[in-house]
Chain A
Amino acid sequence: DTAVSQTPKYLVTQMGNDKSIKCEQNLGHDTMYWYKQDSKKFLKIMFSYNNKELIINETVPNRFSPKSPDKAHLNLHINSLELGDSAVYFCASSLTQYYGYTFGSGTRLTVV
C-alpha cells in the first residue's frame, strides 16, 4: 500500500487551463503539505493543513487553492495556469507539524 499517493503523476496542459492534483495518505497523519520543486530542484512550501485546517499559506498566487475534505486528503486546484507554474508538486504528510515528512511520488506539471 502506498503511504502518500498523488494523482496524476504527469500533467501536460495549455496555458489558461484549470487543473487539479489529488493527494491521499493512509498513515493516519494529522498534517499534510504541498511543496513545489522548481527546475533547479529547490523545494518550497506552499500550503500546510493540520486536521483539515489551513495553517500555512505561503506567498502563493491565489490561483492556487488547496482543499482538504478530510485529514487523509489534500487536493490542489490551480486556475488559469501559467508557464511559470511548470514544476514538480509534492504532497507530504507528517504525524504532527513538528515531525518529519513522508513524501508522495510527485506530480510533474508542464504548462505549454
Chain B
Amino acid sequence: ELKVEQNPLFLSMQEGKNYTIYCNYSTTSDRLYWYRQDPGKSLESLFVLLSNGAVKQEGRLMASLDTKARLSTLHITAAVHDLSATYFCAVVRGSQGNLIFGKGTKLSVKP
C-alpha cells in the first residue's frame, strides 16, 4: 500500500527565513505533485515532478525529487506572509493512477 508522509505537519517561520518541507513515499512512483491550499479554498497545483533529479522553481518555492530515496522536498527561500497556506505532496498510485496525498504541512509565516 502506498503511503505518503510529510514533515513537519506544522511550520511557523519568520519572514525572511528559509525552510524545507519533506515528503517521503513508500513505493515506487513515476510522478509527484505539490499543491497549495489556502484556508477555505480549493487546491492549487504548484509543481509536477516527473523524473529522478527533477527540480522546479517558482518564485520563492523550489521542489525537487529523488526517486531512489523516494523523497521530495519543497524549499522555501526568504519566506513572506503570502506563502502562509497548507502544502500537500501527492504521489501517483501506479496500478490505478489516482493521487495519494500526504497529510499536509500547515505553514504560517509571521512578520
Contacts and interface: CB of A to CB of B under 8 A. Distances in A.
A41 B92 CA distance: 19
B97 interface: yes
Q: Classify the interface of chain B: helix, strand, loop or mixed.
A: strand
Interface in B93-111: 96-101, 103-104, 106
A90 B97 contact: no
Contacts of A33: 98
A41 B45 CA distance: 17
Interface residues of B, number: 21
Nearest to A48: B98
Interface string A29-48: 00101000000111111001
B32 to A, nearest CB: 10
A38 B106 CA distance: 15
Interface stretch (A14-22, A73-81, A101-109): A101-109
A48 B95 CA distance: 13
Given A100-B48, A102-B45, A45 B98 contact: yes
A66 to B, nearest CB: 14
A112 interface: no
Interface of A: 31, 33, 40-45, 48, 55-56, 90, 96-98, 100-106
14 contacts: A33-B98, A41-B37, A41-B104, A43-B88, A45-B99, A48-B98, A56-B98, A90-B42, A97-B97, A98-B92, A101-B33, A101-B45, A103-B44, A104-B42
